[in-house]
Structure 1
Amino acid sequence: MTQTPRPRFGIMTAPSQVDYHDVLRVWHEADTIPEIEHAWLFDHLMPIGGDPKGPTYEGWTLLSALAAYTRRLRVGVLVTSNRFRPPAMLAKIAATVDIVSGGRLDFGIGVGSRPSHPLARREYEAHGLPFHDAAHAVGSLAEACAVIRRLWTEAEPFDFHGTYHPLTGAFGNPKPVQRPHPPILIGGRSSATLRVVAEHADLWNIPGGDIDDAVRRSALLDHYCADIGRDPATIARSIHLSVSYDQPSATRDAISEATDVGFEHIVLGIPAPYPPDLARWVTDELITASA
């Protein structure tokens, strides 16, 4: 009988409608608690909830600062919008963060904001960024993953004749600390994105909510892995679950549902404002109580 892997718990602090020092406080505390193994930011340039003119920090810049101020947590962005940065630039940014962290980066990436979310869509127009259709976004993501991995691992410059990302003399130096490269987490639920997950990811993340849909998407990912001859067990299943301070039992139930169906990488989204001793509360009320 195959033993179910022990769940690995982490937190996600959306760097929006908060102060930098509040995020730092929570990460500092989480870094001292072994039950919390990973911590995440999101990747938006403007608020997608609350005051539309409120503060939102750039995810990778903030992640580098938090990586320098922590010692144990694995760190990442859940997930980087592939629409925001050219992949060769993103590979350089991520390698830098992996070095700053001493090899603790989990590299999260996805196609970018869905067009149906108006508050997310406006950030592209406000920053002069193009917003292509879904087919373009998925094709671009697949090429980006290939380019980024090669920049992290290849010892000589190379040309990349991509449809979306043609590169000449591409080369990455310094390389990330982790070998052969930082784990790649791809987030998303569409069938097109899941094909990219099967090809490129070490972890797959899906937003929580409908657990039956998550199970169906996980089975579809297994199918796509079989199509290309990959063992689906080599892709860890990750899920983001929203935390309720007022109803922790609801969050515990969601954790139990997710782990029962094979999601072993749990990201707990904690809403702002952050109460004192929040990381300890998450550990005692959600992680330990769900064991």
Structure 2
Amino acid sequence: MPRFGIMTAPMQVGYEDILRVWQEADAVPLIEHAWLFDHLMPIGGDPLGPAYEGWTLLSALAAQTRRLRLGLLVTSNRFRPPAMLAKIAATVDVVSGGRLDFGIGAGSRPDHPLARREYEAHGLPFHDFAHSMGSLAEACTVIRQLWTSPEPFDFDGEFVQLTGAYCNPKPLQHPYPPIVIGGRSSALLRVVARHADIWNIPGGNMPDVIARSALLDRYCAEIGRDPADITRSIHLGVSYTDPAPTRAAIRAATDAGFHHIVLGLPAPYPEGVAQWVANELVISS
């Protein structure tokens, strides 16, 4: 059976609005998970408008919900050193009572100017594609080890070097929170094959989505991993005035084996939007 969730992009909207929607969703059993994104500045609308830092906001929402699984779709591996990110995520898993799905990706693509500007604006380096893929793979290795290692360890990678690395407290989930990797490039799918429990891809072009899923199957087979071990997740946009296209996209996605559905809710959010999602999209699909 598909598992449905919502995504509220934390930009051009108030904190109280997002909190309301998440608390509404927490009371609707048909909605099982909820997501934020990870950008430091808006990537749509007023470029000087508000955009909340994802992990800080996620921790606040984790403390004020009780049931929803929750995460960032997805964390930019370019923003935070992986050992620091492991500590942040472990803290959120504890705060949430063990409800974190740990989303991570390579970071913004270089051809998205509104996303690219946030690196220079915050003094963050923006390395080339090869660096972003290699550092993502090492980050996944290091983060998983920090969550599970009972003793401090050293790590001497090409992109990550740690001495005496240790994470305490550990996440509540054992052996660790599910790792969700988002993206579609062939190089990223190789990282997914080795490290992900869930793979997420934006919807909109189902033939491409299906082809990418088949490529992931092939990469899993090459390393001896069962492709069925990786849950297929898709992000689909929502229109409050015309839900029919989203219903059709849900049916196409589930037919293609995508059973983790993330419904992107545009702001402003109508009152009772979570129940609307359940009635108009989940039940009706």
TM-score by length of 1: 0.98
Unmatched runs of 5 consecutive residues or more in structure 2: none
Distance 1:247 1:208 in 2: 17
1:258 paired residue number: 253
The Cα of 1:245 is off from its aligned counterpart by 1.0
Distance 2:263 2:47 in 1: 24
Q: How does 1:90-109 map to 2 (within 5 A)?
A: 90-109=85-104
Task: Tell whether 2:140 aligns with 1:145.
Answer: yes
Q: Which amino acid aligns with 1:168?
A: T
Task: Tell whether 2:68 aligns with 1:73.
Answer: yes
**Equivalent of 2:8 in 6, 13, 16:** 13
Distance 2:240 2:206 in 1: 21
1:221 paired residue number: 216
Distance 1:27 1:208 in 2: 23
Task: Tell whether 2:179 aligns with 1:184.
Answer: yes
Task: Tell whether 2:271 aligns with 1:276.
Answer: yes
The Cα of 1:98 is off from its aligned counterpart by 0.1
SS of 1:76's equivalent in the other structure is strand
Task: Tell whether 2:43 aligns with 1:48.
Answer: yes
SS of 2:67's equivalent in the other structure is coil
Structure 1 ranges of 4+ moved more than 2 A: none
1:3 paired residue number: none
Distance 2:158 2:35 in 1: 31
Distance 1:160 1:209 in 2: 40
Per-residue Cα deviation, 1:116-175 (whole angstroms, up to 9, x for no partner)? 100000000000000001100000000000000000000001100111111111111100
Distance 1:280 1:272 in 2: 16
1:22 paired residue number: 17
Distance 1:80 1:115 in 2: 16
Q: Which amino acid aligns with 1:25?
A: R
Distance 2:256 2:245 in 1: 17
**Equivalent of 1:237 in 229, 232, 241:** 232
Distance 2:227 2:254 in 1: 17
The Cα of 1:246 is off from its aligned counterpart by 1.5
Distance 2:221 2:245 in 1: 35
SS of 2:204's equivalent in the other structure is coil
Distance 2:215 2:38 in 1: 26
2:34 paired residue number: 39
**Equivalent of 2:282 in 279, 284, 287:** 287
Distance 1:70 1:20 in 2: 14
SS of 1:197's equivalent in the other structure is helix
1:199 paired residue number: 194
Q: Which amino acid aligns with 1:274?
A: Y
Aligned-CA RMSD value: 0.4
Unmatched runs of 5 consecutive residues or more in structure 1: 1-5
Per-residue Cα deviation, 1:49-86 (whole angstroms, up to 9, x for no partner)? 00000000000000000000000000000000000000
Distance 1:258 1:121 in 2: 30
Distance 1:197 1:20 in 2: 32
SS of 2:55's equivalent in the other structure is helix
Distance 1:259 1:243 in 2: 16
Distance 2:220 2:244 in 1: 35
> How many positions carry a matched residue from both structures?
285
The Cα of 1:41 is off from its aligned counterpart by 0.1
Per-residue Cα deviation, 1:257-286 (whole angstroms, up to 9, x for no partner)? 100110000000000000110001011000
SS of 2:232's equivalent in the other structure is strand
The Cα of 1:106 is off from its aligned counterpart by 0.1
